[in-house]
A = this chain, B = another copy of it.
Amino acid sequence: MKATGIVVEYNPFHNGHLHHLQQSRLKTNSDIIIAVMSGDFLQRGEPALVDKWTRAKMAISAGVDLVIELPYAFATAQASDFAKGSIFLLDALKCDSFCFGSEEGSLEAFQHTYHLLSTKKEEYNTSISNFIKQGISYPKALNEAYKVISEDSSMSLVDLSKPNNILGYHYIEAAYQLNAAIRPETIHRVVANYHDEAKPSETIASATGIRKVLFNEMDLKSIKNFLPETSLSELKEWKNTFKTFGSWEIFWPSLRLIILRHSKEQLANYAEVTEGMENAIWNAAMKSNSFQEFMLQIKSKRFTWTRIQRMMTHIYTGFTWEQLKTIDVPTYIRPLAMNKNGQNYLQSIKKDLPLPLVSRVAAFKEINMLGLDMKAANLYYLGLQTDYAQKMIGSDYSITPIIQ
């Protein structure tokens, strides 16, 4: 069986994701689609709308064959580590290829870009440092340095100011650096811009746009054009039981409690908290009655919104610089959900897997990285604050993969 991997968050699974899924299958002519998916906290540094189990069910209902959890330590990391963890897992799962959506759409441009930057690595890094010294954010510095480096190139190169191109670049980079057997593919992304508003007249909108509409209207009808029926019914069931959706705004009283329980100095121990940000974070938490208010007080040219949100994720879950240093590559494969095909595929490769296959966490308590996932799940449910969510504490420890 030929398998293709995709890297997803599905927050929530929408028509754009469905398009990517179908195109990936067509382009690679695969029997099996395996999605590596973030858990309850996402790469943009925020809690997911609904838990990973519900998002995994949406994925299977829409045609993914197997959903694997991307461990917390990678799911909430900066793009290069997020990519490294994801590609490592898809390679370990014997995928023939991985296929990502990009604004670029041509694989050749990514390969040219990777070769250009790896041959001019030193020059590139020096240039990035210089731009950072001017007080701009890391992604902006990357892009400025890239402009300088690529100026004289005659090859077709990727525009690294686009968010999906950036991620795509990191996937390619990870595949090369891991010396992975897995082969890259890219397809053209149809959604214009990640941050675009969801327009009611259309059927495809970004997940960010969809969440914005959902939180404004707090009514699932307002987003029904943008999601497959199966996603919509999962969201409905979630809302009926959990009575809320995950967001930093909902988590704010809990996050604020955790911030103010620390001294400023202690906050600096958490991953990604650098350059005196601990002071700004603590002071803003004292004054802010909402997450929005809080973020507006600490945002700066120096850090992207996403980077600051990742600091918040690590403060919330207690993930330290020290722990971050110990992270290299994923050390287990944890399936969240699968269909019959996914199950057969997993059965067929099981004996050749280079990592332990975790179908019930209780049997694997000695894996530290897995402990982080459990903790993240517990803290996710606690942040939701509703009675039903409280009852879910500890459930991640004994649950087994969903088979649909």
Contact = CB atoms under 8 A, between A and B. Distances in A.
Contacts of A383: 257
Given A260-B378, A261-B258, A375-B260, A253 B289 contact: no
Interface string A354-392: 000000000000000000000100110011010100110
Contact of A254 (B254, B286, B287): B254
Contacts of A253: 382, 385, 390
Contacts of A375: 260-261
A262 interface: yes
B256 A393 contact: yes
Contacts of A382: 253, 256-257, 260
Query: How many copies are assembled?
Result: 2
Contact of A286 (B256, B316, B394): B394
A209 interface: no
A382 B285 CA distance: 12
A397 to B, nearest CB: 8
Interface in A241-288: 253-254, 256-258, 260-262, 286-287
B391 A289 contact: yes
A390 B294 CA distance: 13
A257 B256 contact: no
A286 B382 CA distance: 11
A16 interface: no
Contacts of A86: none
A316 to B, nearest CB: 8
A379 B258 contact: no
Interface string A103-134: 00000000000000000000000000000000
A286 B385 contact: no
A379 to B, nearest CB: 6
Contact of A257 (B257, B286, B289, B391): B257
A261 B394 contact: no
Given A261-B318, A262-B318, A375-B260, A393 B286 contact: yes
Nearest to A318: B261
Contacts of A387: 289
A317 interface: yes
Given A287-B394, A394-B286, A394-B287, A258 B260 contact: no
16 contacts: A253-B385, A254-B257, A256-B393, A257-B257, A257-B258, A257-B383, A258-B258, A258-B261, A260-B375, A260-B378, A260-B379, A261-B318, A262-B318, A286-B378, A286-B394, A289-B390
